[in-house]
Structure 1
Amino acid sequence: MDNDGSGKATINDIARLAGVSKKTVSRVINRSALLNEDTRQNIEAIIRETGYVPNPQARALALRRNFLIGLVHDNPNAQMVLGVQQGILGVLKGTEYELIVHPVDRGSTTMVADIRQFVERQRPHGIVLLPPISENPELAELCRQLGCRYVRMGSDVLDAPENSVASNDRAAVHAAVRHLVDLGHRFIGLIAGPEGFRSAFERFEGFKDAMYDGPMHFNAQAVERGDYRFESGIAAGERLLANEPRLTAIFASNDEMAAGALHAAKRRGLDVPGDLSIVGFDDTAIAAHLWPPLTTVRWPILEMGRAAARKLLAGTRDAQPEAAGDPLFLSTLIERASVASPRVA
């Protein structure tokens, strides 16, 4: 039973043992509806008995697509990308699908053409688009033109439910800043994310909403912008802490920049949280490993990655329940030791 010389069963062996054509066996493997149920059960039993494993390259050729899920991104937040990967891989485990990661440069004039080439060359079953490139409607249209499934991830719902997973960044930041206000903080600074990111916009709006709702007014002088990296958090934190009156709290738009702000505070000899409270966003691994551990908004990145993969597998033999449900995932405040009431209210 080794027509190919490997000692392993082949599709020709299965066809011979079942007394059917190779095409019929292929239909069973590919879950075609054009089969008699008795024939299907007989062939499936022979496949189990022989231990036959379909050739993925041959299946891809027959179906004119590969069993690949693409993760396409241009994101400076490595922890965020890793979290999405973990979520997707958790769903793909035990299936015939594999993950392929394709970084791009959103500043390049050839970005859309590069993604087109990637999809045409790799022929993935579907792709997950991470922010900020997921916010580009041209990429969604490109996927539709090429017949490639896609899911856009973002800080707001960007597409139809089957093509979108999103978080409630604006409301989550509002709740986090209100927590600071409720503790008695009145001089609160913001380290905003980079221009051009929807997440940065939504989190900035949530901060302003909370400030306007409280017993103080939004102060543009208490806002500095970073690029979601640690070093930018240090620089922005230094600028904010040089202002008067001195801030009693800082909200940073991600954990990396919050870690930078904590570093800047330590440089100035400030006690956190005694002299300065700091809140981040994401709840990446760094948040719990800092000292003091960082109060932060938990971005449900694993759940969003899992949901994106489930949406792409909907309708396949590996489909999982609740594939195209509500695209919105709620972020929650995780309270740790970097926040306390100000010493002087």
Structure 2
Amino acid sequence: MTLAEIARELKVSPSTVSRVLNGYSKNFGANPEMRARILEMVEKTGYRPNPVFRSIRAKKNRQIAFSFYSRSLRQNGETVDRALDEATRILEENGFTFHYLFHPRARVECYPVPEWKVAGMVIPDVIDPAMLRLIEEHRCPYVTLNGVCGEAGSAVMSDEPANIRMVMEYLYRLGHRRIAYLNSPPVMERHHSGIEREQGYLDFLNARRLPVIDGYGITPLPVAEQFELVRRQSATAIVTFQLEIAVEVLETAWRRGVKVPQELSVVTFDDSWHARHTIPPLTCCKIAANEMGKETARLIMAKVADPEAYKTEMFRFAGEVIERESTAPPPKA
């Protein structure tokens, strides 16, 4: 039931219902009986004020806009999904309301400013600060999650150089010296995670004078063909950019009769439910999504209170390696 419908039912104006619900008393009077009838009807119908309309009128705005480049939240991946769950939980506990906005052309043009007044914005997976031009011009406080920020914003990111280093060191300790890396799909090429994991892979091999297994770059090749390419180079371990690639690696290994982990170790990023239930269960680098969500909430609340706070600052969080049955020492020659 809407506010207008409640007003019609009680034969009063919508503004009277609104003022009673918001506790207004200045230059406004409603007898106790009418107040009681309005509040009783609101309780009975379960009516809740629209937070967007309320934010337009409010002097103290508590509305946070979450702005996405895709209409499909799955496109943002499990890291962002879990981080947003934590951030919204904390914001709600602190009296903030929020809504989601979807801008499929954000990566072609730029992220637009919300059409109504908001206290601040959280924007996941920004790949280029230029995409934030309008928001910066509007001086809207914002935090990017799992992406880069502009001059006025703050960024909360996974520490990908640390994460790939942990994975490589783990395999190195197991005895692997021929380690392949299967990179992100072309759509992720410009995201910081794809760039930094690939560079960290190369830096680790170069620092230890280990061979670089060809096939680590962005490629349109199917995973099965990438698998054959790195196996021809005697790779004993494969690190994949994301879970979907690791699942295809496991399937291809099974179809080719390659035993995991006896003949080939496989490691991926993010510790999702699916990673725990593949055959064999996958060793993963667990991304610090909860910590990223907590920091996102802390930062946007701080920037709402003081828009000058934490400008251009980047906050990174390293994950941890979760060892499972997809990894083992390399086979003996």
TM-score range, shorter chain: 0.7 to 0.9
* TM-superposition CA deviations, 1:29-60 (whole Å, max 9, x none): xxxxxxxxxxxxxxxxxx9xx99976635532
Give yes or no for contact 2:52–2:116 (8 Å, CA) kept in 1: no
Aligned partner (choices 193, 212, 215) of residue 218 of structure 1: 212
The equivalent residue for 2:245 is: 257
- 1:175–1:149: structure 2 CA closer, same or farther, 3 Å change rule? same
Q: Secondary structure at the match of 2:115?
A: helix
1:17-96 mapped onto 2 (5 Å cutoff): 20-21=26-27, 56-63=51-58, 67-74=63-70, 76-94=75-93, 95-96=95-96
1:1-345 mapped onto 2 (5 Å cutoff): 4=7, 10-12=18-20, 14-16=23-25, 20-21=26-27, 56-63=51-58, 67-74=63-70, 76-94=75-93, 95-105=95-105, 108=108, 111-112=109-110, 115-116=111-112, 119-131=113-125, 134-154=126-146, 158=149, 163-193=154-184, 194=186, 195-214=189-208, 216-219=210-213, 221-225=214-218, 232-241=222-231, 243-244=232-233, 246-314=234-302, 327-344=315-332
- 1:84–1:273: structure 2 CA closer, same or farther, 3 Å change rule? same
* TM-superposition CA deviations, 1:89-124 (whole Å, max 9, x none): 32233434123141524663xx32xx32xx242544
Amino acid in the other structure paired with 1:11: R
Structural RMSD (CA): 3.7
* TM-superposition CA deviations, 1:11-35 (whole Å, max 9, x none): 248444xxx446xxxxxxxxxxxxx
> What is the aligned residue count?
295
1:203 Cα offset (Å): 0.3
Give yes or no for contact 1:191–1:226 (8 Å, CA) kept in 2: no
Give the gaps of 5 or more residues in structure 2: 1-5, 11-15, 29-38
Give yes or no for contact 1:11–1:54 (8 Å, CA) kept in 2: no
Give yes or no for contact 2:69–2:107 (8 Å, CA) kept in 1: no
1:137 Cα offset (Å): 1.6
1:66 Cα offset (Å): 7.8
Amino acid in the other structure paired with 1:240: V
Give the gaps of 5 or more residues in structure 1: 23-46
Tell me the TM-score normalized by structure 2: 0.74
Distance 1:315 1:171 in 2: 28
Give yes or no for contact 1:250–1:279 (8 Å, CA) kept in 2: yes
Q: Which moved more, 1:69-78 or 1:188-197?
A: 69-78
